Amino acid sequence: MSIVNGKGIFDAARSGHYAVGAFNTNNLEWTRAILAAAQETNTPILIQTSMGAAKYMGGYELCLNLVQQTVKSMGITVPVIMHLDHGNYEAAKECIEVGYTSVMFDGHDLPFEENLEKTKEIVALAHAKNITVEAEVGSIGGEEDGIIGEGELADVEEAKKIAATGVDYLACGIGNIHGKYPANWKGLHFDRLKELAAEIATPLVLHGGSGIPKEQIQKAISLGVSKVNVNTECQLAFADATRKYIEAGKDLEGKGYDPRKLLAPGTQAITDIVKERIDWFGTPEVK
């Protein structure tokens, strides 16, 4: 199947009270691992590149080609959405040009009126090409690829204004944090999520999905979260499995140093964690 936009998939998730996972890719192994998890569970999936990861891999066009060609060569039949994660204005425009099927314009660090205006512009450009758009209100705490958020809760009136631009999904700060959660983290702000979901029909996005307890994720989904972003947990799973392989001395046995062998346990670990998260999110199988 060729890659698709996120429109029908996330609207169905919001009305069906489940979520579809959004997983960050960093290279070929990540891409294959995420796609394998989607295919094995027969569920739709969103694969995304941050600006930093795209730069690392060689640019947006290369990332798009990588995903498209991997979908083809692996014979993936489930819907795959190719998304820009936390893009600035220029990156969002570039990904629309290049042919991503979905983009996030993250204007949370701009004055609100500028975030609103630029979101409107990106929505107009993207929708003219049948590309879906995610925007952000309030900020996600922590740091991801140089994007630093203080973690303010989304303001309901501001969120309503951004939703009214016609964005297809909306990331809202509700106490969530990128990266590892500190021991003194107070948990998600469900009261704010309820207020947002009562006023906004747009599918809501939970960033910083790594390390949130399953019960909190599932409660957030029951209240209107339809897209859950996960990156750090895949990185930790990959690093942990690779460390075990090397600490067991397997790279020193035969041709265990061959990257096709050395990277295999980490790749499988990503597939395993993505499959587990798909189960947590309640993503239904494709009919």
Residues at the interface with ligand G3H (CB under 6 A): 24, 85-86, 144, 178-179, 207-210, 229-233
CA 20 to chain centre: 9
Please say which residue, 179 or 284, places its beta carbon nearer to ligand G3H: 179
Secondary structure of residue 80 in the 3-state scheme: strand
Beta strands in 69-162 (DSSP E): 80-87, 102-105, 132-137, 142-144, 147-149
As to burial, measured by CB atoms within 10 angstroms (0-12 exposed, 13-18 middle, 19+ buried), residue 247 is exposed
Q: How many CA atoms lie within 13 A of 104 on its CB side?
A: 29
Partner whose binding site includes residue 232, from Zn ion, ligand G3H, none (CB under 5 to 8 Å by kind): ligand G3H
16 marked as part of a ligand binding site: no
Task: Give the CB-nearest residue to Zn ion.
Answer: 207
DSSP string computed for 210-266: TT--HHHHHHHHHTTEEEEEE-HHHHHHHHHHHHHHHHTTGGGSTTTTSHHHHTHHH
Compose the 218-237 pattern: x for residues touching Zn ion by CB under 5 A, - for all others. Answer: -----------x--------
Q: Which stretch binds Zn ion (CB under 5 A): 61-69, 159-167, 206-214, 244-252?
A: 206-214
* 230 marked ligand binding residue: yes
Q: Which is nearer to ligand G3H, 94 or 233 (CB)?
A: 233
Minimum distance, C-beta of residue 54 to ligand G3H, in the bound complex (Å): 13
Task: Determine whether the annotation assigns residue 42 to a binding site.
Answer: no
Q: According to the annotation, is 155 in a ligand binding site? A: no
Q: Rounded distance, CA 97 to CA 183, Å?
A: 42
Query: Which residues are within 8 A (CB) of 200 and not within 5 positions of it... i.e. 6 or more apart?
Result: 159, 160, 163, 170, 224
> Least distance (Å) from ligand G3H to the CB of residue 211?
7
The phi and psi torsions of 175 (rounded to 5 degrees) equal 90, 5
List the catalytic residues: 85
- Residue appearing with tokens 């993505």: 274
For the CB of residue 140, give the shortest distance to Zn ion in the complex, in Å. 5
If phi over 0 gives left and psi between -120 and 50 gives alpha, with beta otherwise, what is residue 63?
alpha
Q: Which does 231 bind (CB under 5 to 8 A by kind): Zn ion, ligand G3H, none?
A: ligand G3H
Query: From the list ligand G3H, Zn ion, none, which binds 132 (C-beta under 5 to 8 Å, kind-based)?
Result: none
CA distance 45 to 110: 30
Q: What is the smallest separation between the CB atom of 208 and Zn ion, expressed in angstroms?
A: 6
Q: According to the annotation, is 136 in a ligand binding site?
A: yes
**Known binder of ligand: residue 65?**
no
Instruction: Compare residues 87 and 224 and give the one whose CB is closer to ligand G3H.
Output: 87
Pick from 207, 227, 275, 277: which binds Zn ion (CB under 5 A)? 207
Task: Tell how far CA 108 is from the center of its chain.
Answer: 17
Do the beta carbons of residue 82 and residue 101 sit within 8 Å?
Answer: yes
Q: Which partner, ligand G3H, Zn ion, none, binds residue 179 by CB below 5 to 8 Å per kind?
A: ligand G3H
Q: Total number of residues binding Zn ion (CB under 5 A)?
A: 2
Question: Residues comprising the binding site?
Answer: 86, 106, 136, 178-179, 207-210, 229-232
Which residues sit at the interface with Zn ion, rule CB under 5 A? 207, 229
